[in-house]
């Protein structure tokens, strides 16, 4: 059988020619950045398939005429592209990612948890109510910067407040590099407001606490009301953790949407450059301090303290920067320690195995 592979090698990333419908793979987000990593032989033997959901039973993958579950055991996450080895699914190759969102796993486990791969835009969602929290937004934005993803802050539930402007202004102050939009997630206008980032073939993700409207927005973008949403609690405006797993929603001709469960806790790890990107204002001041190792505390000629003194820097923002940096340093160090312990353990096992007299068969 002669197959036409030309559609697997589009000219430009995510730029579909107007004259044709997207191929099945393009509808899933396939583009030249992935195509150029594989040769024709690999394509024939192991067709590409994207991880659209991760379940306990394995990875649900979709491709051109493919929809199946790959058993767990691959170091992949939702959004990843696998070159699907049908004979030995666990040996499927994970294509190098264009972006990767990760955090420190919640609880006492010090592992890294992969949240999503190959996301183009991260919509950091919060609402104009008690959920709104600057420190949390800074965390999410740092997470996106670290992952090389453009973050957009989305303020929902504007219909419930008289004037959303104070919320918008506070969100804008987080970083000059982040767009801020405010909307009623249930309205038809919400899709228009997000249209710039939601081109066909692009992959967008909704991140944020429970109850802020992530699934409501996902429904708007994919044009259904099929994804379950649930009213928040009246007393404290907290959500009910309605969405319980991460899933990519794919509708040909639209963007690909990752809906996620509300995160209870977002701990950063290996995110120093993402944090520095969010707090560029403080980083820029810090290089002007007289002492290279200035702690911006009581040192003379400290540009950071001077900025606090003249009112141009909010001391609360400095405190949040310090807290995030400390947390990231702690988590990164404990992960490094864990990794080296894992390595040592592996070495020990290998040495022990080698020392074992080989069994005669």
Interface region with Zn ion, contact rule CB under 5 A, candidates 44-52, 185-193, 240-248, 290-298: 290-298
3-state SS track over 95-131: CCCCCEEEEECCCCCCCEEEEEECCCEEEEEEECCCC
Binding site for ligand GTP (CB under 6 A): 156-157, 159-160, 184-186, 210-216, 229-232, 239-243, 261-262
Q: Is 296 in the site for Zn ion (CB under 5 A)?
A: yes
CB 204 → Mg ion: shortest distance, Å?
15
38, 78, 137, 294: residue in contact with Zn ion (rule CB under 5 A): 294
Nearer to ligand GTP, 199 or 241 (CB): 241
Number of residues that this document lists for the chain = 361
DSSP state of 7: G
d(CA 98, CA 94): 12
Q: Is 304 in the site for Zn ion (CB under 5 A)?
A: yes
CB 313 → ligand GTP: shortest distance, Å?
33
d(CA 323, CA 201): 38
Nearest to 200 by CA among 184, 227, 223, 179: 223
Q: Is 127 in the site for Mg ion (CB under 5 A)?
A: no
Which of ligand GTP, Zn ion, Mg ion, none is residue 296 near (CB under 5 to 8 Å by kind)?
Zn ion
Which of ligand GTP, Mg ion, Zn ion, none is residue 252 near (CB under 5 to 8 Å by kind)?
none
Q: What angle do CA 109, 238, 191 make, to 5 degrees?
A: 100
Interface region with Zn ion, contact rule CB under 5 A, candidates 17-25, 103-111, 168-176, 301-309: 301-309
Which of Zn ion, ligand GTP, Mg ion, none is residue 211 near (CB under 5 to 8 Å by kind)?
ligand GTP
Query: Look-up: residue for tokens 């929290």?
Result: 133
d(CA 154, CA 129): 13
The residue ranges that bind Zn ion (CB under 5 A) are: 289, 294, 296, 302, 304
């Amino acid at each position: 059988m002669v197959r036409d592979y030309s559609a697997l090698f589009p000219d430009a990333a995510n730029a579909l020619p107007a004259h044709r419908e997207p191929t099945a793979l393009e509808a899933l987000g396939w583009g030249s950045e992935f195509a150029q990593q594989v040769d024709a032989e690999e394509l024939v033997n192991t067709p590409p398939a994207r991880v659209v959901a991760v379940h306990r039973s394995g990875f649900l993958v979709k491709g051109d005429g493919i929809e199946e579950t790959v058993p767990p055991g691959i170091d992949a996450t939702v959004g990843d592209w696998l070159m699907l080895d049908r004979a030995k699914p666990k040996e499927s190759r994970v294509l190098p990612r264009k972006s990767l969102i990760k955090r420190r796993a919640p609880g006492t486990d010090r592992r890294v948890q992969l949240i999503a791969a190959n996301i183009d835009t991260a919509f950091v969602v919060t609402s104009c109510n008690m959920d709104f929290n600057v420190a949390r937004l800074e965390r999410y934005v740092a997470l996106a910067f670290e992952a090389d993803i453009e973050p957009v802050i989305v303020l929902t539930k504007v219909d419930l407040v008289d004037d959303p402007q104070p919320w918008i202004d506070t969100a804008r102050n987080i970083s000059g590099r982040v767009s801020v939009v405010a909307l009623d997630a249930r309205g038809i206008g919400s899709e228009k407001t997000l249209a710039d980032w939601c081109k066909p073939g692009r992959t967008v993700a909704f991140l944020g606490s429970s109850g802020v409207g992530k699934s409501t927005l996902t429904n708007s973008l994919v044009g259904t009301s099929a994804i379950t949403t649930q009213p928040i609690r009246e007393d404290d405006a907290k959500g009910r953790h309605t969405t319980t797993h991460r899933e990519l929603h794919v509708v040909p001709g639209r963007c690909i949407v990752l809906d996620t469960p509300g995160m209870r806790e977002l701990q950063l790890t290996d995110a120093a450059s993402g944090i520095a990107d969010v707090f560029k204002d403080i980083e820029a001041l810090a290089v002007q301090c007289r002492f290279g190792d200035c702690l911006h505390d009581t040192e003379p000629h400290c540009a950071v303290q001077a900025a606090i003194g003249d009112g141009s820097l909010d001391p609360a923002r400095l405190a949040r920067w310090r807290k995030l940096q400390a947390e990231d340093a702690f988590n990164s160090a404990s992960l490094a320690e864990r990794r080296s312990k894992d390595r040592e353990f592996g070495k020990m096992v290998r040495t022990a195995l080698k020392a074992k007299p080989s069994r005669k068969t």
